[in-house]
Chains A and B, each alone.
Chain A
Amino acid sequence: MRLRALVLVLAVGLLSCEEEYNYLTSVEYRPDIHDVVECDFSPTEEGWERYTCLPVFSDRDPESEPWESSGIGDFDIVQREIFGAPFYQMWYSGQAPFTGTEEIGYALSMDATNWIRHPWNPVLKTGEREGDFDRDGASVGCIAFDGRLGRYHLWYTGTNSEASGTTFGHATSTDGTLWLKDLQNPLDPFAGITSPTSISRVWGCDALYEDGLFHLWVGGVTRPDNFAGLEEFLEQTHYDVGYMSTVDGVNFDVVEQPVLLHTQHRGPQFDAEGVHKPSVFTFGDGTETDRYWMLYAGYNDVIATDDPGSNLIFIGQEGQSLGLASSNAPDSGWERVTDTPVPLDPDLTRTLDSPRAFFINGRVHVFFTDSFVDEESGEEFTGIGLGIAPFPSSEESQ
């Protein structure tokens, strides 16, 4: 009996020797985020904790450069393990003052809270030629690391206000600083799809590399071709999460129907009007719990404003919170884990957005954007927050 126990202990020890491993339970001797950060985490509800020194990253940081000094926008993070500790690589959108031009920077953290900006930022700049789809702006969509080829893939939105508007692009890099923009840009994953219930534009995405394939979950919009007035537009326009996959980063297999729907137009739920900005992480092999877990931003109010001059409708969201869903397949079967938001907003600011979630050593770690107030000037600004929770909780594992 004692010998069998010894073998079991040793076998568990050997499991920890795997390269690019993925633990299903916490490992005591590996770094615990509580022990490596400077401030405390404050408990909220249901085991969730929110970091108390927020934001962990913003344009108000002393290291912020002029090109990003007017605001931090969408971002994505790749988490790598070095000597058993998580290193976080972040690519983020920064906005320049006066011009409002967005470009993409690279930063690194070894504890999730202290970030070092790359000295060569911005690492992905706007296009230089007149017709470039990203001539006026480039903003992070999502990024994934292909561990077989050692290559980062970035999907981003480019803006050319005089030509293509805001469209979708792809770039690759082997070091995270030198990006090669795809010659096929701009990309339209939804070209040729005629289903009226399919989403038609990418509004934020998350990418996951698995076995030679990139899964992409995209926030998108389904909208009517014709409508009479703003009320009909609001009723018939839906904001849901779709799925597509790609091997090469530019040619997509699109699942036409959204995989996670908003709850109910004018409903009471926190995600009644729309869901977007998905972030998916994997946990286990899908036998005892679902394999795919999605944090997303949901909102319960859409504000549409008609501009007769430009004949455009401008859309904004209010009442944003984060939700959690899971599935055993990447492209179907997504269900909400609970009907309530993830408790990372104790002050009920309803401004949480763009979650980025990771399973690390027995916990889910969630980065998100939130609204903060500058203590000196009183100005509101957007920065990146951080929360954690044991994972899976007993509720989630059922």
Chain B
Amino acid sequence: MTRIALLLACALLFGCGGSGDSGPRCEQVCRKFVNVCGWPAWTSVEQCKRGCLEDMYRRSDANEVLDCYAAAADPPTTEAVNAAVDEAVARGVYDSGISQGTFDRAAALSQMTEQMTCDPFAAVQCKTDAVLVRPDLPLVNEDSVGSSSPD
């Protein structure tokens, strides 16, 4: 019994099992979300970090997932901005400006850079991509974990 309790305590102390290494990175990403982006979802970095550790629980791909979230907050690379503007053009976002001859690519790049910095739509997409990979590290207590499906 004591051994089980200690095992459980260790798991919790190290941030839910598999996410033991995620603490510093979770804090880093959460500082961006809360302090830099000013996203109102959490009341503090600490609250965000705790949720982050939960999300990374059992994920062997925690680093990749956290890279995705960090990229959603960071200013995009020049290549990423150019690609996004190209895609927007292809999807017809700038159709009216193009047809009227007023489309300004430099202005579009600048606007896109702004939109892609602290981009919550990109953060949600990280979540969408993350659910495709099932957490695969061992459960600490298999009986206690259920499942739910998002609506």
Q: Which of B40, B88, B93 has the most CB of A within 10 A?
A: B40
| Cα separation A108 to B131 with both chains bound (whole Å) | 19
Which residues of the other chain, A, contact B135 by a CB distance below 8 angstroms?
A: 19
**CB pair A17 B48 closer than 8 Å:** no
B-facing residues in A58-87 (Cβ within 8 Å): 78-87
Known: A29-B47, A36-B40, A209-B151. A10 touches B12 (CB 8 A): yes
Any chain A CB within 8 A of the CB of B147? yes
Binds B, one of A116-124, A186-194, A375-383: A116-124
Q: Which of B54, B132, B147 has the most CB of A within 10 A?
A: B54
Known: A17-B16, A85-B42, A85-B51. A150 touches B131 (CB 8 A): yes
Any chain B CB within 8 A of the CB of A18? yes
Q: Please give the distance in Å from B119's CB to the nearest CB on chain A.
A: 9
Known: A3-B2, A178-B91. A31 touches B41 (CB 8 A): yes
**CB pair A83 B16 closer than 8 Å:** no
**CB pair A14 B149 closer than 8 Å:** no
| Cα separation A211 to B115 with both chains bound (whole Å) | 36
A-facing residues in B1-18 (Cβ within 8 Å): 1-2, 4-5, 8-9, 11-12, 16-17
Any chain B CB within 8 A of the CB of A228? no
| Cα separation A18 to B26 with both chains bound (whole Å) | 17
Any chain B CB within 8 A of the CB of A337? no
Which residues of the other chain, B, contact A19 by a CB distance below 8 angstroms?
A: 55, 57-59, 131, 134-135
Which residues of the other chain, B, contact A82 by a CB distance below 8 angstroms?
A: 41, 51, 55, 123-124, 126-127
Known: A3-B5, A36-B42. A21 touches B148 (CB 8 A): yes
**CB pair A110 B40 closer than 8 Å:** yes
A-facing residues in B97-132 (Cβ within 8 Å): 111, 115, 120-121, 123-129, 131-132
**CB pair B132 A150 closer than 8 Å:** yes
Any chain B CB within 8 A of the CB of A270? no
B-facing residues in A124-146 (Cβ within 8 Å): 144-145
Q: Which of B1, B5, B93 has the most CB of A within 10 A?
A: B5
**CB pair A11 B149 closer than 8 Å:** no
| Cα separation A144 to B135 with both chains bound (whole Å) | 22
Task: Please give me the residue from chain A that is nearest to B141 by CB atom.
Answer: A14
Known: A20-B149, A120-B91. A10 touches B8 (CB 8 A): yes
Any chain A CB within 8 A of the CB of B144? yes
**CB pair A10 B9 closer than 8 Å:** yes
Q: Please give the distance in Å from A356's CB to the nearest CB on chain B.
A: 9
**CB pair B140 A18 closer than 8 Å:** no
Any chain B CB within 8 A of the CB of A303? no
**CB pair B58 A17 closer than 8 Å:** yes
**CB pair A120 B88 closer than 8 Å:** yes
Q: Can you offer 25 A-B residue contacts whose CB atoms are under 8 A?
A: A14-B16, A15-B144, A17-B57, A18-B147, A19-B57, A30-B47, A80-B128, A81-B51, A81-B55, A82-B127, A83-B41, A83-B51, A84-B48, A84-B50, A85-B41, A89-B124, A111-B40, A119-B111, A145-B151, A149-B132, A150-B129, A150-B131, A175-B128, A208-B149, A282-B148
Instruction: List residues of B whose CB falls within 8 A of some A CB.
Output: 1-2, 4-5, 8-9, 11-12, 16-17, 26, 30, 33, 39-43, 47-55, 57-59, 88, 91, 93, 111, 115, 120-121, 123-129, 131-132, 134-135, 140-141, 144-151
Instruction: List residues of A whose CB falls within 8 A of some B CB.
Output: 3-4, 6-7, 10-11, 13-22, 29-31, 35-37, 78-87, 89, 108, 110-111, 114, 116, 118-120, 144-145, 147, 149-150, 174-178, 207-211, 281-282, 285, 358
